[in-house]
Amino acid sequence: MLWRTTRYAIDCSVPRVMGIVNCSPDSFGTAEPVHSPQEAIALCERLVAEGADLLDLGGESTRPRAEPVPVEVELARVLPVLDVAVGLGVPVSVDTRHAETMRVVLERGADIVNDVQALQGPGALQVVADHGRCGVCLMHMRGEPATMHLHATYADVVADVGAFLAQRLAQVQSAGIEADRIVLDPGIGFAKTAAHNLELLRRQGELLSIGRPLLVGWSRKSTLGRLTGGKPADERVAASVAAAVLAVERGARIVRVHDVAQTVDALAVWKAVSAQRG
């Protein structure tokens, strides 16, 4: 199965590693916050050298209780990094929920829009539809980052998330965005409790029936901290790698991670074992 983006057709028959590049100094999970575009560019270069298949740039934190950032600030953080990242030989995604940011970064060569609000924000769907070529990741979340913790109530979290993603996929396709440009993200940690996150991982295979590749982000999430005795984000590397491998084992095709080198190595072992099974 392919994921078609502005410049690349990504082969999702094998798992892909998306390296996280937080261009915001207050973003979640960053052991060493980025304070300048130069630092973010250096991180891009390092993650590609470590084996990242894609890069995901973000200029606004969407961690729980995060406050929104003006579009001009988001763009000032992201654009200098994007201008270099598009020359590194891998697809470049921009993590944003703002239509104006999407429009500008697509004009500057971004391959993918990664939207935590699944193109539900004002004007977002039209920007992506009008571009006509970029890839998009549609994620499940309720509310806003500042308030999403108040919406973590589900009859059946897997069924509810699956129904939302299937419905949103259909709506986005009806706007003229082809299915092969779309991947889906269950939104681990977004308007979900630890129990919800674990249930989504246990039953992740049920989401595959929607018919598009799954992109999953467990990296350094608070659920992993709880499971490992309260470790802070920068000490959750082993747990993050384990969760990434489990997600791939259950059918995820793209894993979004901070710790690229460790995840690439772990997936090399997984691939070797999986090939022997075959």
Active-site annotation holds for 212 = no
5 within a domain of the structure (yes/no): no
Tell me the C-alpha to C-alpha distance, in Å, between residue 115 and each of 118, 120, 133.
5, 9, 16
Strands 2-4 and 9-11: antiparallel
Predicted pLDDT at 37 = 93
Predicted pLDDT at 32 = 59
DSSP 174-195: HTT--GGGEEEE--TTSS--HH
Q: Which domain holds residue 157?
A: 14-277
Predicted pLDDT at 63 = 67
Question: Residue range 211-216: average pLDDT?
Answer: 98
Predicted pLDDT at 146 = 75
4 within a domain of the structure (yes/no): no
1 within a domain of the structure (yes/no): no
87 within a domain of the structure (yes/no): yes
Q: Is residue 105 classed exposed, middle or buried when 0-12, 13-18 and 19+ CB atoms within 10 A define those classes?
A: buried
233 within a domain of the structure (yes/no): yes
Question: Residue range 204-233: average pLDDT?
Answer: 97
Number of domain units in the chain: 1
Contacts of 84-89 with CB under 8 Å at 24 or more apart are 84/41, 84/44, 85/21, 85/41, 85/44, 85/55, 85/57, 86/110, 86/111, 88/44, 88/45, 88/48, 88/55, 89/48
At 228, which CATH number? 3.20.20.20
Which one has a higher pLDDT value, 28 or 166?
166
pLDDT of 66 higher than 90: no
Active-site annotation holds for 221 = yes
Tens of pLDDT, residues 104-131: 999 999 999 999 999 999 999 999 999 9
Please tell me which residue in 77, 168, 253, 256 is annotated as part of the active site. Answer: 256
Predicted pLDDT at 34 = 77
pLDDT of 6 higher than 60: yes
pLDDT of 273 higher than 80: yes
How far is Cα 85 from Cα 64, in angstroms, rounded to an integer? 27
Predicted pLDDT at 116 = 96
Predicted pLDDT at 129 = 98
30 — pLDDT class (breaks 50, 70, 90): low
Question: Residue range 239-245: average pLDDT?
Answer: 98
**Mean pLDDT for all residues in the chain:** 94
pTM of the model: 0.95
Please tell me which residue in 221, 236, 250, 253 is annotated as part of the active site. Answer: 221
